[in-house]
Structure formats: C-alpha cells, structure tokens
Amino acid sequence: MLYPSRDLHGPAQSRAVRDLFQSLFVTELIHPSPKLWLFFAWISDVEIIDNSAREFAALEPDWPAAPIRLSQVLRALLARGVELRLVIRADGHNDYFIARLQTLKARYGDQIKWTVEKSFHAKGLLGEVVGLLNTVLIVRLKVPDLRFDESHAQRHFDQRRPSRTADRPGGGGRAIDRA
C-alpha cells in the first residue's frame, strides 16, 4: 500500500520535524543499532526529546523533567554500547557541538568517531532500524530480502581527509582510527 508523501518543510511543520526526530531517537534508545551514522552539514545541541512530563523516565531515569538535548541522547546511546559515526561540515557554527563530541570521546573513546569536511552538505541519520536521509524517512524492517548495508557510508567516512583533527586544539575530525 502506498502512502501519500508528507511535506516536512515550512513553519507549519516545525513541530512535525521535531516529533519525527524525537521518534527516531526514542526508537534508537529502545532498540539501539550496533552502529549509528549521523550526517549533518550544520549541527547544534538542539532539544531533541520533550521529557517535560517525564514520559521517557523508563528510558533514562536520571533525565530531568525538561527538554533533552542531542548530546544527552548521544551519551545515552553510547552508554547502551552504540558506536556513533558522524560526518560534519567544517563551519564555525559546528564548533560548539564538536566540543560536546570531544567530551563524549574522552569518556567513551573510539566508540564515537567523526570527521569534519570542507564542502559537506548531506543531512541524515542511518541506523539498523530507521534512517532519515535528506528528510526522506526510511523504516528498515527485518525482512530477508531487505538487508542493511552501511558500506556506502563507511566508504564515504574512510575516504575523506578531514580538514581538522580532534587531536589538535580546536579541531574536530580525525581522532578517528578508521572504523
């Protein structure tokens, strides 16, 4: 059965986009992917889960009754053993979030790796169960004929030469021993 497409652009849909990301990340918290890829040209530590009524206390009992930021969700995924891989554009806007990644890397080591690229523009999230690529939702079902293949994302990650490295002060990318 085909379903009509849904436009998630424009001011009237801003809540729909937030709800979609909340659903994707809650799904990952309930059923974590072994490896989760995030591709964002511009990334901020946005409020991603609305926990103001403590609806998600069963997932993370220590979360406050408040909006939960992306870095908090990533920390919870890392605590569940998820390997995180990020590809981010080299842009001053992203520096604050890269600093948050460095804090996570100090605690979780090579479980989190990222690269920073000069002219990167893709947007997406790709895991074992769900994915969102340039705002196209992909629901991955456990069907024998439908197989998860992250090789394209891995090749992209491996072939890039980051413009900065996480080993240098103010850097962000390469502290990546390639996965």
Query: What are the DSSP calls for 101-140, one per residue?
Result: HHHHHHHHGGGEEEEEETT---EEEE-SSEEEETTEEEE-
Q: What are phi and psi of 101, to 5 degrees?
A: -65, -40
The model's confidence at residue 156, banded by pLDDT at 50, 70 and 90, is low
Query: For residue 13, what pLDDT is reported?
Result: 67
Residue-wise pLDDT tens digits, 78-112:
999 999 999 999 999 999 999 999 999 999 999 99
* pLDDT for res 56: 97
Strands 123-126 and 112-117: unpaired
**Which among 134, 152, 70 is positioned nearest to 103, based on CA atoms?**
70
Fold of 12-159: Endonuclease; Chain A (3.30.870)
Whole-angstrom distance, CA of residue 101 vs CA of residue 95: 10
What gap in Å lies between CA 120 and CA 29, rounded to an integer?
A: 27
Give the global pTM: 0.74
Which residue has better confidence, 69 or 14? 69
Segment among 26-30, 82-86, 168-172 with least mean pLDDT: 168-172
Q: How far apart are CA 22 and CA 173, in angstroms?
A: 26
For the chain, give every domain's residue range.
Answer: 12-159
